Structure 1
Amino acid sequence: MKIDAFCHLLPPAYAERLFAIDDSPVARNIQTRVSGIPALVDMDVRRRAMDEFGPDYRQIINTAAPPLEDLGPAERTVELARIANDGMAELVRDHPDRFAGFCAAVSLDDVDAAIAEAERAFDELGAVGVQMYTHFHGGPMDDERFFPFYEAVARRGNKMIQVHPCRDASWADYKTEERSKFELWWTLGWEYDLSAYMSRLVFAGIFERLPDIKILIHHGGAMIPHFAGRVGPGWDQLGARTPPDQLAVVTGYPLTRRPIDYFRQFYVDTAYFGAGDPMRTAIRFFGVERTLFASDSPFDPEKGPGYIRSTIANLEEMDILTPADRDAIYAGNVTDLLGLGV
């Protein structure tokens, strides 16, 4: 059994509503992007891409970026969340042999409405978690106003939060420029965003305050495992590099352990796009038990099966893994984490 824990899809009714938006540059951009990836919207194409991996391969689905909040006023984004979640639930219900579950879409313009929609998705639609992003209109996700949302998911026990990056070309590479060049905002910026998101939550005391929360970080935990020296002994000296009159910027929630210990409480996936050596580093840092198989399908050059195939190849050739380790990463961990009945 292989359960691909982080895959993107646009349910038909949601895609139709998304393509009808004509007053949002963000919507126009995703409309153009989606038109080149049929497997996001065409379920026949999707099934053919999945067929290569046999009857024991299934996906956990979510909607593709951008965040709903970026698609217009709150009234619209709340509607989009309901349409997306109803559509994903229908796909999971009608095709259990293809889809093991879905993570709900929410709009955080209204935190109370986001909590209500997440709970509707859990209780009425069977969602296994929610997806959220590394920014809210460019702002940080450790803002105190979001903690009721984190708390609402954490108290459900076997529900997870999937975290996806979301900066765009408007985030310039340098202060002197207006836009990012060469898609650095994506290649490097998204990994910084994920790492900054993790770091801000750690220092906000997310795991002290909500020890049962389950947060899955896309792209294998991004930069964190590859900078373990800076995250470990480097952050053990937090404040040593900051002038005395600026210490407020390094004062967070009172932590009872080393910062690096909290980072290892995140769950991560294997969406490394075929880069086996970084995946190996991430597995060593977070541990087999915190690693979930995921491919980020269908955003590969083949528009569907490419990253699935290369991720499986990476795991199969990784000599640090036992057969039991592979089974855990492929399906056992996510099944245990979410209580999946597959």
Structure 2
Amino acid sequence: MRQIDSYSHILPRAYFDRMAELAKDKGAIKRWLTIPVLYDLDARLKMMEDFPDYQQILTLSSPPIEMIAGPEQSPEMARLANDSMAEIRDQHPDKFPAFVASLPMNNVPAALEEMERAITKLGAKGIQVFTNVNGRPLDDEEFWPIFDAAVNKYDVPIWMHPARGANMPDYASEKKSKFEIWWTFGWPYETSAAMTRMVFSGFFDKLPNMKLITHHMGAMIPFFDGRVGPGLDQFGSRTSDEDYEGLLKRMAKRPIDYFKMFYADTALAGGQAGLRCGLEFFSPKQVVFATDCPFDPEGGPMFIRTIPEAIDGLGLSKEDSEGIYFRNALRLLKMPCDC
């Protein structure tokens, strides 16, 4: 069966080299320096030879551009990333049928310009944002024009990737997160927090046609359906210094119904229980296949094997399986199905 990996990561070589030059702390990019498939296109193509029905939608790997470059340099980095991904797509359309535009989120005017260029001139099929912009929430009003343009002007989906580092401690008494908790559990929390901010900031009321793909199967939301369901039906009862109860009454839907408007992907490192939970919450029509390639213990091929094994072990119908593996992605990206 055809497989379109909707969340696979790349650092095109020219961008990778420039990123390494700009990075002030080489330790912060330690992992990216040790995964050849991430920046060596030949290595990636060779790896993909073992998966003949497999294709990748290219998204720029973390770290976020705005974490590497200031607002004066980040537009140049975004252009380099998008030009490079468009070139890879054009050279190998059978392997990489589309790419997602990266934006310099710490320079909103430049981000709007680059979005227009990447979508209208380079043919990008969507945009990628991270769950925060150097610590600022996505529902900060400065970033609103980016979401508004993506939905109302260009009608493209939005990919959202978690961003959180060890510098965000797990306890107020400490200065950093230990034992990589910032990644294992911090990233799912980070994504869930960003989703919640969007729900209560009225993103879906203002942008009812927004199609936002949450990485890692909607993070914590499906598992905590009771807390975002009956729990948030009591929104405001725990807070005395904000009129959250009034906000709840003004919302057109229950909070849980807004959460179900997000899309999700299958990038759960091969775990099956999370897939089952997420598919039940979002429905197979709002889930796309993704592997998080090449961030696995083998540096690329492992999750391309194990995630389909997990999906196929769920006993889904042919219609649901095809939807997850490729039809939902083609619909979101407005690409024809030659199948």
* Structure-1-length-normalised TM-score: 0.95
CA distance in 1, matches of 2:284, 2:148: 26
Q: Deviations over 1:193-233 (max 9, x none)?
A: 00000000000111100011110000000000000000000
Change (3 A) 1:291 1:142: same
| 1:293-338 deviation line (CA, Å, top 9, x unaligned) | 000000000100111111100111112x101110010000010111
| Structure 1 segments (4+ residues) deviating >6 Å | none
Structure 1 unmatched runs, 5+? none
Structure 1: distance between partners of 2:8 and 2:27 = 20
SS in 2 for 1:3: strand
**Counterparts of 1:239-258 in structure 2 under 5 Å?**
239-243=236-240, 246-248=241-243, 252=247, 254-258=250-254
Match of 1:175 among 172, 177, 182: 172
Give the one of 15, 38, 50 matched to 1:52: 50
* Among 237, 259, 284, the residue aligned to 1:288: 284
| 1:1-342 superposed matches below 5 A | 1-21=2-22, 24-25=24-25, 28-29=26-27, 31-54=29-52, 56-156=53-153, 158-243=155-240, 246-248=241-243, 252=247, 254-319=250-315, 321-341=316-336
Q: Which amino acid aligns with 1:51?
A: E
> How far apart in 2 are the matches of 1:108 and 1:31?
20
Q: CA deviation at 1:31?
A: 3.9
CA deviation profile, 1:53-89 (whole Å, cap 9, x unmatched): 21x2100011111111111321111110000000000
| One-letter identity of the residue aligned with 1:291 | V
Measure, in 1, the Cα distance between the counterparts of 2:57 and 2:29. 23
User: In structure 1, what is the Cα distance between the partners aligned to 2:124 and 2:114?
Assistant: 11
Q: Is the 8 A contact 2:288 2:326 kept in 1?
A: yes
Aligned identity (percent) is 43
Matched residue type, 2:256: I
For 1:187, give the aligned amino acid.
T
CA pair 11-183 structure 1, distance change in 2 beyond 3 A: same
Cα displacement (A) at 1:15: 1.1
How many angstroms apart in 2 are the aligned matches of 1:198 and 1:66?
20
For residue 52 of structure 1, what is the amino acid of its counterpart? D
| Greater Cα offset, 283-292 or 148-157 | 148-157
Structure 2 CA distance for aligned equivalents of residues 248 and 121 of structure 1: 41
Query: For the Cα contact (< 8 Å) 1:300–1:307, is it kept in 2?
Result: yes
Matching residue's letter, 1:180: S
- Mean Cα deviation higher: 71-80 or 250-259: 250-259
CA deviation digits over 1:14-52, x for unaligned, max 9?
112112225x22xx2454222210000111211122122
- Structure 1 residue 341: deviation in Å? 3.6
Shift, 1:250, TM fit: 6.6
Gaps of 5+ in 2: none
Contact 1:335-1:341 within 8 A present in 2 as well:
yes
Secondary structure, counterpart of 2:217 in structure 1: helix
Q: How far apart, CA to CA, are the structure 1 residues paired with 2:245 and 2:47?
A: 48
The range that moved more, 28-37 or 110-119, is 28-37
The question of whether the paired residues in 2 share the 8 Å contact of 1:157 and 1:213 is answered with: no
For 2:31 and 2:244, how far apart are their aligned partners in 1? 39
- Distance in 2 of aligned mates of 1:158 and 1:61: 19
How many aligned residue pairs are there?
335
SS at match of 2:139: coil
Contact 2:237 2:245 in 1 (8 A): no
AA aligned opposite 1:310:
T
Following superposition, the deviation at residue 251 of structure 1 comes to 6.0
1 CA distance for matches of 2:206 and 2:168?
32
State the alpha-carbon separation in 1 of the partners of residues 279 and 51 from structure 2: 23
Q: Is the deviation greater in 13-22 or in 266-275?
A: 13-22
Query: Partner of 2:293: helix, strand, or coil?
Result: coil
| Alignment RMSD | 1.4
Q: 2:6 is matched by which residue type in structure 1?
A: A
Superposed displacement of residue 340, structure 1: 1.5
| Separation in structure 1 between the aligned mates of residue 116 and residue 80 of structure 2, nearest angstrom | 15
